[in-house]
Amino acid sequence: MIPTLIQQLYMSPEASDSAPFSKEEFDRQVMTTYGRFDLALVKGSGCQVWDDQGKEYLDFVAGIATCTLGHAHPAMVMAATQQMQQLTHVSNLYYIPVQGALAKWLVAHSCADRVFFCNSGAEANEGAIKLARKYGHTKLGISDPVIITAAASFHGRTMATVTATGQPKYQKHFSPLVPGFHYVPYNDLEALKTALAELSGKVAAIMLEPLQGEGGVNPGQKEYFQQVRQLCDQHQILLILDEVQTGMARTGKYWGYENLGIEPDVFTSAKGLGGGVPIGALLCKESCNVFQPGDHASTFGGNPFACAVALSVCQTVESENLLANAAIQGDRLRTGLQALVAKYPEHLLEVRGWGLIDGLELQAGSSIAAGDVVKAAMAQGLLLVPAGPKVVRFVPPLIVTAEEIDRALLLVDTALTRLTHS
């Protein structure tokens, strides 16, 4: 029997005499760590969501590149229901068959040999940082290992990952930060070579995003990453790729690194891996598998429920050929956005991205900010998300159709028309 309060929360506005949800009460009781839009979403299906007033929206946020299969996908509903009825959580004191099945799928569909499961992208990156430090100590003989990361990167909100993040705005008021990180400009080979020379004998790893998401949807340059791979081989250091946002078919390939023609030693996954159910994964090659029992752990990581749902996501991506859909619909989206750049040249600069992670950059001199476009689109029934003050991010579910792409483009056009004529 479903508790009454839960039932009331998900009633339609017409079916409930008194709503149990209040934004004012929410704001009094939940920490204000988010700048929330004045919107409460209560239901979803495919690429559509509905708010508590019954208004429908086309969802091109997808939980920030997380809802791979959209909302209420039958495969996820079935996997979640069956696993919840069978076994939810037992901890990693024991073998978990579905965890092994998910690991097997990930290894078969990537360059990795080993997988560690956790609950989020930040945790996966935290694990990668620990792995790199142990590798530096035990394999390279470095007493205080350094990890090089990129300016404008984003790797998470834990103390180590927020330090790895090359954006001072996320680090403000959280000093002292974790030592052992050095920043270089993204896609700048000479700057990286200079840093390696200055830090000679101290670097254990280079940690990069194949495409910077929060930093403005900046794709990595193929030539740059191939040179980075060579430098890592030359210096016997690890190449870590943060695939939290680019992984799980988001770019039209299973992993972002496939767009760059290289293989990392270590990479991380989360967001789209669980399709909305929290799960993270740290993946590595056997050559750098230096963790031993007791080195790292996660109470909830790899539990049966999360792994069953994630496995259903992986298998559906494969069986429904969502790699191809992400590539095809991504091309359609970018073509449409480029037409809008031509239509509004005073305000729009360019379009960037791979597959279904795309950014529309505004002109630096435009009076319109990314947040303005997001709010105007929301008023038209389209959900978008900023990636910095001047970039609007488009990350719809990978099941999105051509018709939904065209509808989104029309709604953006309408929003821009209203903004530029107000």
From the list 116, 154, 267, 291, the catalytic residue is 154
Are 301 and 102 within 8 A, CB to CB? no
* CA gap 132, 136 in Å, rounded: 6
Please check whether residue 358 is in contact with residue 393, taking contact to mean a CB–CB distance below 8 angstroms: yes
Produce one character per residue of 248-287: b if its CB has 16 or more CB atoms within 10 Å, e if not: bbbbbbbbbbbbbebbbbbbbbbbbbbbbbbbbbbbbbee
Which residues, other chains included, contact 140 with Cβ-Cβ below 8 Å and sequence gap of 6+? 204, 236, 237
Sheet holding 181-184, edge to edge: 114-118, 280-284, 266-269, 238-242, 203-208, 146-150, 181-184
- Annotated active-site residue 154? The verdict is yes
Active site residue 52: no
Say which of 267, 271, 291, 390 is annotated catalytic. 271
Instruction: Output phi, psi for 156, to 5 deg.
Output: 135, -175
Neighbours of 46 (CB within 10 A): 18
Q: How many CB atoms lie within 10 A of CB 14?
A: 7
Number of C-beta neighbours around residue 38 at 10 A: 8
- Strand, helix or coil at 228? helix
Cβ proximity of 373 and 303 under 8 Å: no
DSSP 8-state code for residue 6: H
Nearest to 153 by CA among 245, 36, 250: 245
Q: Which residue in the list 242, 265, 358, 372 is annotated as catalytic?
A: 242
Active site residue 271: yes
Residues with active-site annotation: 154, 242, 271
